[in-house]
Amino acid sequence: MAQTSPQTDNADHADSDEFPPGPDGLPVLGNTLQLASDPAAFYDVLEPFGDVVSYRAGGMQFCTLLHPDYIEQVLVTEADRFGKWGLTDFGVDFAAEGILFTEGEQWKRQRTMAQPAFQLDRIRGYGESMTAFAAELAEGWDDGEVVAATDTFSDLTLRILSKSLFDLDLDESDRGAVVTRAVTEFNRWAEPSLATFVLPNWVPTPQRRRLDRSMRAFERLVDDLIAERSAADTDHDDLLAMLLSARGEDGRISDTELRDTMMTFLFAGHETTSLALTYTCYLLAEHPEVADRLRAEIDEVVGDDPVDVLDLPALSFLDRVVTESLRLYPPAYILFREVRKDAEIGGYRIPEGTKLSLPLFRIHRDDRWYDDPDSFRPDRWTDEFEDSLPEYAYFPFGGGPRHCIGMRFARMELKLVLATLVQHCEFEYLGEEPPQPTMGATYQPEGEVSLRVEKR
């Protein structure tokens, strides 16, 4: 993808010592009320200030970056200057020793250990269960049945993930519910609200207590899964086996790191993919001409056989459908970082300690990079278009050293599941309005996304 320069007023400030502009706020609360009352609309307030915009919320100084070049600077070219930021400032104890939140040598060690489970030859082996579980789901639907997409796909992706990485079938017990409950409580808690920003972390609100209870149950579940595997006299060749064999070897991975990393995978790997399936099925239901073309491609390439990983290179329209859906509805819709060493971004001085928000959901719909940005147009993804697009105008899986380790796994899963569903049925969307994404930990739609199944 191509490089361009920022085209807004921000660029005029090159080499200045100024702090970026932003909306006025109240004396102590800053912009907290504005952000908490309608987080999505708050970005409409920020945008006129340029590509580097400051605001204050919850007593913290934030900067939002709205230009692909600045995203690249933070995630890639100057990644060392910016650290992970998220839960600890809010007093949430979730997988702090796991790969998503650790830094420095500890993170490198964990990433190196987990990486082999995501190599191409390895993830190809997971394809069969992805297709089989999706077919089982679709075959179980009756013609005319109404499915609640978010819950249905959440169960499916958790089942695929736990089978692929940990050789477990979490569908067969209440154990899957422990994971989904933790995800639900986490999403509820993460939606910006006055309570999140204003109340001190030690105040035990009912929401925090529920979150804490669900997280402790999740930890106990993962501890049990690890203990069961350690006690079993069976050979496995999966991520858990890799991590277990590293445990204890010169202290390479501690018990807490192992548990937190496993929790991270179960959490980060199923919820995101489930949302992508939900939004893609909604988009297909609302764009029958796209769904028809997709069906024709799958009929021609795969026919009625189970979809195989080796079919995927020939399913180029399917690839574009997935790419375009992740543009419109990026499940990880904002990334956060903290400035660790004073930085200069877009000519502004950004002091150490500032929190950065990188809102994919805005950049992916910026009309400087995308014509008719709100439209679902898989055909926009031609080679020429990709060549002309700034590299970080599209980053659903992040970028640089901390990019999503599960990206290839997720794209493969999305394509195999979608192709299998399309072989079996069509969907009709029953909502009156398009799904409204909320601003929780992920881009969960508000309420249920109901789809009526029409079997083929």
| Interface residue list for ligand HEM (CB under 6 A) | 99-100, 111, 161, 264-265, 268-269, 272-273, 276, 331-332, 335, 396-398, 402, 404-406, 409-410
Whole-number minimum distance, CB 14 to ligand HEM, in Å?
Answer: 27
Give the CA-trace dihedral at 169, 172, 174, 179, to 10 degrees.
30
Tokens of 283: 């988009």
Alpha-carbon span 452 to 155, nearest angstrom: 18
Whole-number minimum distance, CB 67 to ligand HEM, in Å?
Answer: 17
| CB closest to ligand HEM, residue no | 406
Whole-number minimum distance, CB 398 to ligand HEM, in Å?
Answer: 3
- Residues 6+ positions from 343 with CB-CB distance below 8 Å: 78, 81, 82, 349, 350
Residue 394 host element (H or E) = none
Query: Where do runs of H (alpha helix) occur along 350-406?
Result: 360-363, 383-388
- Closer residue to ligand HEM (CB): 327 or 402: 402
Whole-number minimum distance, CB 130 to ligand HEM, in Å?
Answer: 11
Whole-number minimum distance, CB 212 to ligand HEM, in Å?
Answer: 23
Tell me the CA distances in angstroms from 164 to 116, 213, 382, one per residue in order. Answer: 13, 28, 32
The percent of the chain in helix, strand and coil, each rounded to the nearest 5, is 55, 10, 35
- Closer residue to ligand HEM (CB): 50 or 413: 413
Q: What are phi and psi of 21, to 5 degrees?
A: -75, 170
- Closer residue to ligand HEM (CB): 29 or 100: 100
One-letter amino acid identity for 62? F
- Closer residue to ligand HEM (CB): 111 or 295: 111
- Closer residue to ligand HEM (CB): 390 or 406: 406
Tokens of 280: 């893609």
Whole-number minimum distance, CB 173 to ligand HEM, in Å?
Answer: 21
Whole-number minimum distance, CB 412 to ligand HEM, in Å?
Answer: 9
Whole-number minimum distance, CB 86 to ligand HEM, in Å?
Answer: 8
Which residue, among 92, 103, 82, 60, has the nearest Cα to 335 in the 3D structure? 82
Tell me the CA distances in angstroms from 2 to 68, 328, 381, 386, one per residue in order. Answer: 11, 21, 14, 8
- Residues 6+ positions from 128 with CB-CB distance below 8 Å: none
Confirm if 357 and 334 have CB atoms less than 8 A apart: yes
Confirm if 291 and 284 have CB atoms less than 8 A apart: yes
- Closer residue to ligand HEM (CB): 190 or 335: 335
Confirm if 73 and 345 have CB atoms less than 8 A apart: yes
Whole-number minimum distance, CB 97 to ligand HEM, in Å?
Answer: 13
- Closer residue to ligand HEM (CB): 19 or 118: 118
- Closer residue to ligand HEM (CB): 30 or 86: 86
- Closer residue to ligand HEM (CB): 156 or 404: 404
